A and B are shown apart, each in its own frame.
Chain A
Amino acid sequence: MNISSPYVIISLVYNEGMKAMGQSTAEEKRENNVTGDENKSFKTTLKNGILSGLKTTWLLTKIIVPVYFFVTLLKYTPVLDWISSLFAPIMKIVGLPGEAAIVLVLGNIINLYAALGAVASLALTGKQITIIAIMLSFSHSLFMETAVAKKTGISATVVIIIRLSLAILSGIVLNLVL
């Protein structure tokens, strides 16, 4: 798997975020809001929109494809069965099969797109996918996002504890309710 992909995304998202920093308070924006200005930049906006869509698609291809290959190959080795039986007792608490542990791990250490690649290569029910979606929506890309959050001065431990507890809690409750 291309180890650089998550870092490409980290730097991309982060740089974009920092760019956004340079132009953003509400007051500033209202002041600069001249009508002529908007028309002039609309073409640029369209161009940037298409470029940004294509760039993101390329980035997600670089993540989803290797992950999908990885999990598909794993399915034909005993490894997936080992992982499955190893995690089955824990995953049962949130109503997921043992192999879904791979999805949660990939989502948390790499990002949501890696998790999507893994979900697509496993056979899961609608209920299971919804549980995974909710757990991952609370807790994903922990390395990258915690690094971003730390820039504001909030503690990394607090961030990670909050996110993991919400993920586990919501998984347990959803499994009981759905």
Chain B
Amino acid sequence: MEFISILGEALKGSLESVFTIAKVVIPLMFIMEILKDLKVLDKLSDILRPGTKFLGISKNSSFPLMVGLTLGLAYGAGVIIKSAKEGDLSKKDLYLLMIFLVTCHSVIEDTLIFIAIGANGWLLLGIRIPLAIILTVIVSKHIDKYLKSSKGTL
């Protein structure tokens, strides 16, 4: 009998958490779809242009940066690979963008779902973004010698 009440507890608790997360994820996915289709990110990526210089990457990097920050790593990486093939991004841009994005991506989704379970969202963003920036700036100061010495692999 006790086993059944444990299962009941698990069923109730798990559905409650699905509901908590779904309340965040469904509207969010909806907004993401609109961002993707209506080319909003294109316009928004201009905001990041001044920031690219600070990170040590070219202005062309602002679009992949925006895509990765909002839509996630897979999209960001997809755009980066395409831009690199078309010659819009240098090897250095590509590596620095990826260093930044592996530590800091889909910030909207990640932050909102953690807020939903009770974390402090401002603290989360206030630590994640600055740390990713500091890391990228440090790497950008030292990356040139590695790119020369090791045939462009990092």
A-B Cβ contacts below 8 A, count: 208
Residues A145 and B135 in contact, CB atoms below 8 Å apart? no
Number of interface residues of B (CB under 8 A): 71
Name A120's contact: one of B17, B32, B74, B120 (CB within 8 Å).
B17
**Looking at the complex, which one of A25, A45, A72 makes contact with B82 (CB distance below 8 Å)?**
A25
Q: Does B25 contact A (CB under 8 A)?
A: yes
**How close is B110's CB to chain A, nearest CB, in angstroms?**
5
The answer to whether B102 and A21 have CB atoms under 8 Å apart is no
List A contacts of B11 (CB < 8 A): 69
Known interface pairs A25-B86, A116-B21, A155-B154; A20-B71 also in contact (CB < 8 Å): yes
Q: A117 and B113: CB pair below 8 A?
A: no
- Please state if A152 and B25 are interface contacts (CB–CB under 8 Å): no
A113-B135 contact given A53-B29, A162-B102, CB 8 Å threshold: no
Closest residue of chain A to B88, judged by CB? A25
Q: Quick check: A130 and B75 within 8 Å, CB to CB?
A: no
Residues of B within 8 A of A24 (CB): 63, 67, 78-79, 82-83
Q: B interface vs A, CB < 8 Å?
A: 6-7, 9-11, 13-18, 20-22, 25-34, 36-39, 42, 45, 60, 63, 67, 71-75, 77-84, 86, 88, 94-95, 98-99, 101-103, 110-111, 113-114, 117-120, 123-124, 127-128, 131, 135, 153-154
A interface with B by C-beta (< 8 Å): 13-14, 16-22, 24-26, 29-30, 33, 38, 41-42, 44-45, 48-50, 52-57, 60-61, 64-65, 68-69, 72-73, 76, 112-113, 116-117, 119-121, 126, 129-130, 132-134, 136-138, 145, 148-149, 151-155, 158-159, 162-163, 166, 170, 174
